[in-house]
Amino acid sequence: MKLVFLYGGTGAGKTTAIARVASVLFKERKLFKILINRKSGYSVDYTYFQQQELDVSSYPHACISCAITGFADLLTAVLQQQQYDFVLVEIEQCCKDIQIGVIQPLLKRFPGLSIGAFQFQDARSVYEQLNKGTYILKLKRAVESLSHLNRHRYIVLTKKDLLTTGQLNRLQYLLAQQFPENQVLLQNSHIESDICDWLNAINRRDTEQNSDVFSENYLLLGEDRSAGWYEAGFEFNGPEAGRAVRLFIQRFNRRVIRKEFVTEHTKVLVYTGNTVEKISFSWGDIPISFPRFTSGMQSVKVLINSRNNGVANSLGRIIERILSKIETSLEVVITALPARENGPEFLCQVYKAENYVS
């Protein structure tokens, strides 16, 4: 069973996200949703979820701090039923009482419970607060308040298309300074995809590996998936090229895609001689296919292509860093191209490939 808290103010996107999650991924699952805000206390929403009706009339409908005991009782009752795969708790504002009065007792009572938190923010208002330092301080306190939960992952999601590239870069830089131990990405346009990926990862790990997805504690701001797709590229020479490419793909998938560039639009094109092979990635898995390597292959060329040059350059630096650990003598050529030049015809022209394998 998974318990997910969603924090954020009015209009931040919490309800929209849950509705999308329910409609996109969880049509066959049993979910239970609890709405909490400081005006009406808490209530149960039956709109999107299959669930048994619970009697909540005996619980006080006051502010969270006054109703914390009643809410803990309600949540405990839901968890004890063991009928729901996920319990989603939507909270109007981040409340420390929730951490002390609910989460800690629940972990003691349900030791196998997986807990996650998503905080929703308006990206523009976040940026406006940066110069004052109020947002960073607020976010740091929120993250620190959850840091004692070693199985907890704290994810901040922002609405799409609210910040310029420069603003995004500045915000990401400042966040990286405050949270140097965390992987930090910015902006989200497919909220349901981020949450679904996260929940799927929990299910897969719990089922296949019997391990906890929260073993690593880092902050992730959802990537704007509409910003572009990425093609990773590299170029080596010599007899070890095939082995190095295979190692690179495995490491790239494990260390980059899963941690930093999680997107269904990620594509990797590997150029081997006269052919172009396309490789797809999925969350945390070995790539679906590998390129065919020929014994006479002299070089493999790789291209990073993104509509966002900043993202392409960042990904390029990561690739260079990974490749340097595989074979220091390899020469890496990384190029960022504008979106208008991302067609296969252009790629074939650049690399003089005679055949394009789709």
Same structural domain for residues 148 and 207?
yes
Of 195, 268, 259, the C-alpha closest to 229 is: 268
233 Cα distance to chain centroid? 23
CA-nearest of 65, 79, 76, 3 to 36 is: 65
The reply to whether 83 and 33 lie within a common domain is yes
| Residue 358, in any domain of the structure | no
Q: Which tokens sit at 195?
A: 């949450």
How many domains does one find in the chain?
Answer: 2
345, part of any domain: yes
- The pLDDT value recorded for residue 2 is 67
Q: Which of 218, 247, 204 has its CA nearest to residue 155?
A: 218
**What integer pLDDT is reported at residue 174 of this predicted model?**
63
Distance of CA 81 to the CA centre of its chain: 30
**C-alpha count within 13 angstroms, C-beta hemisphere, residue 301:** 14
* Nearby residues of 110 by Cβ (< 8 Å), 6 or more positions away: 1, 79
- Among left, alpha and beta (phi > 0; psi -120 to 50; other), residue 274 is alpha
CA dihedral 227, 231, 232, 237 (to 10 degrees): -150
Dihedral of CA atoms 345, 252, 281, 159 in degrees, nearest 10, equals -90
Which of the listed residues 196, 225, 254 is the one where a domain comes to its end?
A: 225
Q: What is the DSSP letter of 223?
A: P
Q: Are residues 281 and 156 in the same domain?
A: no
Task: Please tell me whether residues 221 and 236 are part of one structural domain.
Answer: no
Torsion sign (Cα): 301, 305, 309, 310: negative
Neighbours of 40 (CB within 10 A): 12
Structural contact between residues 221 and 183, judged by C-beta atoms closer than 8 angstroms = no
- What stretches of the chain show up as alpha helix (H) in DSSP? 14-24, 64-81, 96-98, 104-109, 123-130, 134-146, 165-178, 191-204, 241-252, 309-326, 344-351
Which range marks the domain in which residue 190 is found?
A: 2-225
241 CB neighbour count, 10 Å cutoff: 20
Which tens digits make up the pLDDT trace of 230-242?
223 333 333 333 3
pLDDT at 89: 72
Domain check: are 153 and 283 in the same one?
Answer: no
For residue 356, being part of any structural domain is answered with no
Low-confidence ranges of the chain (pLDDT < 70): 1-2, 5-72, 83-86, 90-104, 111-112, 114-358
What pLDDT, on a 0 to 100 scale, did the predictor assign at position 3? Answer: 72
Structure confidence at residue 30 (pLDDT): 56
DSSP state of 61: -
What CATH number is attached to the domain comprising 44? 3.40.50
What is the pLDDT at residue 123?
A: 53
- CB under 8 Å to 100, separation ≥6 — which residues? none
- The verdict on 34 and 89 lying in the same domain is yes
Q: Compute CA distances 264 → 63, 145, 194, 246, 257, whole Å.
A: 41, 32, 11, 21, 10
CA 350/CA 303 separation, integer angstroms? 10
- Is residue 199 situated within a structural domain? yes
